[in-house]
Structure 1
Amino acid sequence: MSGFQTKRAAEQYAGDQEAAIRANRYVDPRAGAITVQEWVNLWFPSLDLEPSTLSNYRYFIQSHILPAFGPRPLASLTYEEIAAWEKDLVQVHGYARRTAVDARATFATVLSDAVPGRIQINPAAKKKAKGRKGVRRIAQAAEKKKAWADPLAAFLYAERCAALTGRWVDFVKQIAFVYTGARWSELLALGPGSIKDGLLNLDTKLYELSGRFYTGHPKDGSIRVIDLPPFLVELLSTIEARRCTCSPREMGPGDPPWCEGGEYLFLGPDGGHPRRSTYGRRVVRPAADGWHPARGNKGAMPVLADVFNGWPGALVAPWPAAVKGQPYEAPRLAELSRGHKTLPSSTPIATWLPVARELTVHGLRHSHQTWMAEDRIADVLRDKRMGHTVEDDARIASLMRDHYTHVSEQMRAELIAALERRWVKSLVDRVDLEERWNAEGIPRRSSAPGVDDLLRPYRESRATKIGSPLAPKSGHRRQRKRPLPDWETASEQQVGDTGIEPVTSSV
């Protein structure tokens, strides 16, 4: 028996199959019998992607996809059961929604190459205009609200980073991020030969994978040379390249080009490469939010600073925040200063207010793009500087525009002038802030290494114009090490809109 009720039905089926073959849509029923496990074993070794991307794929495949669907034939998979699996990852297994979304996206990528050779459609791919509209709109709104900083907020953030670490290099690094738009991995890879004649060569990245670092080309092959404003050339010239602590190791089959030691500008205090997650937790989050993030059994705690040492203050040990409805015990300065000089009871301990809540290093890249848009920089120069491509659908309309538009010397000069103006304004605004705490007795100096050198000319200029005693003592030189505090007399009450907040102290 053929299985067809009539001759006409058989002929129609045969015609449909011939049409599918001519349209390259024909799928041999036997091809879909291969299991997900067998298909992954064929598909994964053929990939030629970034090691970090392969690592992510491997995690989602081994931890989520194969345990749920490994023995199943490809042809048996359905859209409905994969959608239910994604939902269960969150509601039943307790994973974050982002993890579930990424797991399904990886499954869709795995199955996409099986279409149309083994299956007719991809059951893991989400259908367009389906799902909860509210969820999509919330995600879009969250993306639009990604934190970015204006020039003054960027300066204050960088100053706090240096105050937290006690290192001038951290101030320069954050300023370089926001005034170049470079990615974290690109700036981490800068060496002694990366800057020449006012140009920054971004041809390498240094990326972390499984606790080690490998070198490669920037994301999407976006190798580029960008102009630096003069002030940034001068700042970068103060940073001496050092040799990292990476050592040669035996390379395994398929290993990426691991860092085996080299000279870099932005290394950690011990000579190692900064780890993005650790740096974000210890430096970026406190500097931007004014809070140390929660970790382990310890909840989030406000950043406490001794403003006897100037602004933003010398950091002291964190103290738990007040909890509504529970008695609050004020910080005990003698206990907070263990291992350091004992703080007198009159020390004005303040908490940091946010300067750019939820700002990230990637948010500095958003800031740079936003500044260029505000300054009406040509799109073609903005795209080149950011390392963007026009391959995605959202930007395809600009392909011909950029093809016929070239970056001119005038465009480059206008961009450099605009960035220089923003830098000068941030310094002027930073000096203007000092007027707000003048009456409160906070010394007019920065507790971040080297920042006073930058502010001195603007303090002197302001003092000359309005006759106020703003100029610091002469002979100051940039300090590379964290300065020791001077225990001067200062009042305990701080001005509320200067980025600090008073905390009642007792011994």
Structure 2
Amino acid sequence: MARPDEHIHIEWRGGTCRVKWWTGEYLPNGRKRYESKGGFLDEETAMDHGRDQLYEIRHGTHVSNRDGATLMTDWLDDWLAGMDHAPLTERNYKSSVENHIRPYFIRKTVAEIDVLAYRAFRKHVNRAVGAGSAKNVMMVFGMVLDDAVPRLIKTSPVERTRRRGKFTKKKKERKKDVGALVVEQLARNAEAFFGFPGYVFIWTMAMTGMRPGELYGLTREYCYPNWPGADLRTDPDDEERYEEDMERYGKGEGLMPAIRVERQVQYSEGTLQFFPPKYDSHRTLVVPVLLAEMLDKLLASHDSKWVFPAIQGGSLGAVNFDYKYWRPIADGADERSGPRVRKPRPAIPAVPTFKGKRLYLLRHGHKAWLDEDGHSKFAVESRMGHEVPGVEGIYSSVTVPMERAIMKALQGRWEELQKQLRETDS
């Protein structure tokens, strides 16, 4: 066996010496590829450095001179090309890279980014954007640097947060109870803003807990009363599920009205496209009679393929729903009238519970309703599109009695609301 020193060579140039070591690789012409470092004042120090490099090569921790000189911008290209995430996640990662990381390190090599450079960038980002956005940018930057180990850098300069001293509880978003009367106020505001589809949209989210993208992308084929008869059957290997759906759900005696969450809409490469729901959470959501009747009436009122068409037609996913629709619905808006107003609209009152709050909290409210009514944890988490861990997730299933109990409880909330409204009117 060759001794390690046989792969190390010392050369004197002027008053200093240079050490060369074999990288373990070969050039295209078959010759060994060496790397070197100069500036040593004695051969023993140079030899020790060469031995250190051979040790790292043998143990897979060596960073070659060539790889260490990789420009950050080139590594970012490789990192982005290797991503395999959901479209929205990839879009957010690319935004952090292109808007913040790449411009800051445009002429730097990966090896030049040490702890001090990391801290300087963190300070720069915290000044440039809000706390939430800065946290996301630094998270992406951390992944970029972590993935560069060990090929481009030996260790990542990312500073991890360590808990020391007194425990400080993380601040949690303040939520208010979402009662049926609050949902009705939101629904009426939505109806004033974009018609009957708006009214049903709010009640559908409140009664199913569907994610916004799933509601924006809901088409006739997967909505009561058409589903499951109109199911597109995109999975030929799931014939058993289709047969069971026909026996369990639909419009008719003994069947349960339901919506099938099969996809969502998101923008990718400049166009609105269908994608699987988040976490591949395909699921069937039974709905109470009140919502079934609303959906039946809604689909009969228009010919759009989208269950909830936007004001100008098309999917709500194609508009900035949070800003253009949701904020006036939750925060209120002035009356729109006059000869130059194409679509007059009455004043929209604010809903205090949701003023300044996210649409997504309506989904949280649905979860709270299910918990209040004491439904099975597995049935609740499955309905929300969450994976249930452990033995419970393996052995449990959502049964017909569980689904009927959910329908009954949600219908009861609606009937109690109608009673409240009648008492208020009288």
TM-score by length of 1: 0.61
Equivalent pair of 1:149/1:359 in contact (CA under 8 Å): no
Matched letter for residue 116 of structure 1: P
Aligned to 1:37: 73
Could you tell me how far apart the structure 2 residues matched to 1:17 and 1:416 are? 69
Instruction: Please tell me whether residue 97 in structure 1 is matched to residue 131 in structure 2.
Output: yes
One-letter code aligned to 2:414: W
1:338 — aligned with what?
A: 338
Matches within 5 A, 1:40-189: 40-91=76-127, 93=128, 95-124=129-158, 126-129=160-163, 137=169, 140-143=170-173, 145-146=174-175, 149-165=178-194, 167-189=195-217
Give the 3-state SS of the residue equivalent to 1:141 in structure 2: coil
1:184 counterpart letter in structure 2 = P
Task: For residues 426-445 of structure 1, give each alpha carbon's deviation from its aligned partner in whole angstroms, at most 9, with x where no partner exists.
Answer: 222233333xxxxxxxxxxx
Q: 2:263 aligns with which of 193, 201, 204?
A: 204
Q: Quick one: distance in 1 between partners of 2:62 and 2:413?
A: 60
Match of 2:328 among 286, 293, 300: 286
Q: Give the superposition deviation at 1:155.
A: 1.6
Three-state SS of the structure 2 residue aligned to 1:240 is helix
Q: 5+ residue gaps in structure 1?
A: 245-262, 293-302, 304-315, 318-336, 342-348, 391-397, 435-469, 471-507
Q: 1:400 aligns with which of 388, 391, 395?
A: 391
Q: 1:236 to 1:44 in 2, by over 3 A?
A: same
Distance change in 2, residues 1:407/1:17 (3 Å): farther
SS in 2 for 1:200: strand
- 1:105/1:124 contact within 8 Å kept: no
Count matched residues: 351
Equivalences for residues 303-452 of structure 1 within 5 A? 303=334, 316-317=335-336, 338-339=338-339, 352=350, 354-389=352-387, 398-434=389-425
- State the match for 1:272 in structure 2: 314
3-state SS of the aligned residue for 1:264? coil
Letter in 2 for 1:266: F
Residues 66 and 433 of structure 1: is their aligned pair in 2 closer, same or farther, counting only changes over 3 Å? same
Q: 2:221 aligns with which of 159, 184, 193?
A: 193
8 Å contact from structure 2 (residues 145, 156) kept in 1: yes
Which structure: greater helix fraction? Answer: 2
Cα pair 1:147 1:359 within 8 Å, conserved: no
Check the 8 A contact 2:299/2:307 in 1, yes or no.
yes
Superposition deviation, residue 158 in structure 1: 1.0
RMSD: 3.6
Letter in structure 2 aligned against 1:361? L
Instruction: Measure the CA separation in 2 of the matches of 1:39 and 1:131.
Output: 38
**Equivalent of residue 238 in structure 1, options 282, 287, 297:** 297
Supply the distance in 2 between the matched residues of 1:215 and 1:350 (Cα, whole angstroms). Answer: 33
Q: Where does residue 496 of structure 1 map in the other structure?
A: none
Residue 367 of structure 1, CA deviation? 0.7
Asked whether 1:28 is paired with 2:63, we answer yes
CA contact (8 A) 1:194 1:200 kept: yes
Q: CA deviation at 1:142?
A: 3.7
Change in 2 beyond 3 A, CA 1:232/1:44: same
Distance 1:365 1:121 in 2: 42
8 Å contact 1:224–1:385 — kept in the other structure?
A: yes
Shift of 1:402: 1.6
Q: Which moved more, 1:13-22 or 1:147-156?
A: 13-22
Query: Secondary structure of the residue that 1:213 maps to in structure 2?
Result: strand
CA distance in 1, matches of 2:321, 2:406: 30
Shift of 1:283: 3.6
Query: Aligned partners of 1:131 and 1:190: how far apart in 2?
Result: 49
Q: Secondary structure at the match of 1:207?
A: strand
Q: For residue 148 of structure 1, report the CA deviation from its aligned partner.
A: 5.7
Larger Rg over CA atoms: 2
| Amino acid across the alignment from 2:149 | V
Question: Hey, what does 1:476 align to over in structure 2?
Answer: none
Deviations 1:71-121 (A, max 9, x none): 222222123432332222343x4x222222222122122223222333233
103-112 or 123-132, larger mean C-alpha shift: 123-132
Give the whole-Å Cα distance in 2 for the aligned partners of 1:421 and 1:276.
35
Residues 206 and 216, structure 1, Cα contact 8 Å, conserved in 2: yes
Deviation at 1:384, TM superposition (A): 1.2
Letter of the 2:119 counterpart: A
Aligned residues: percent identity? 23
User: Aligned to 2:118, what secondary structure does the other structure show?
Assistant: helix
Offset at 1:146? 4.3
The change in CA–CA distance for 1:406 and 1:131 in structure 2 (over 3 A counts) is same
Write out per-residue CA displacement over residues 158-207 of structure 1, whole angstroms, 9 at most, x where no aligned residue.
Answer: 12211233x11110011001111111111122222213311211111112
Aligned equivalents of 1:269 and 1:119: distance in 2? 53
**Cα gap change, 1:8 to 1:377, in 2 (>3 Å):** farther
User: Structure 2: how far apart are the matches of 1:338 and 1:279?
Assistant: 25
Query: Is residue 209–residue 366 contact of structure 2 (8 Å, CA) maintained in 1?
Result: yes
Q: Offset of 1:422 from its aligned partner?
A: 1.6
Q: Are 1:194 and 1:201, in contact at CA under 8 Å, matched by a contact in 2?
A: yes
Question: Which amino acid in the other structure matches residue 369 of structure 2?
Answer: W
1:148–1:60 distance in 2 versus 1, CA, 3 Å:
farther
Measured in 1, the distance between the counterparts of 2:46 and 2:211 equals: 61
8 Å CA contact 1:147–1:363 kept in 2: the answer is: no
Looking at structure 2, the residues matched to 68 and 28 of structure 1 have their Cα atoms a distance apart, in angstroms, of: 24
Which sections of structure 2, spanning at least 5 residues, go unmatched?
1-16, 20-39, 228-249, 251-256, 342-346
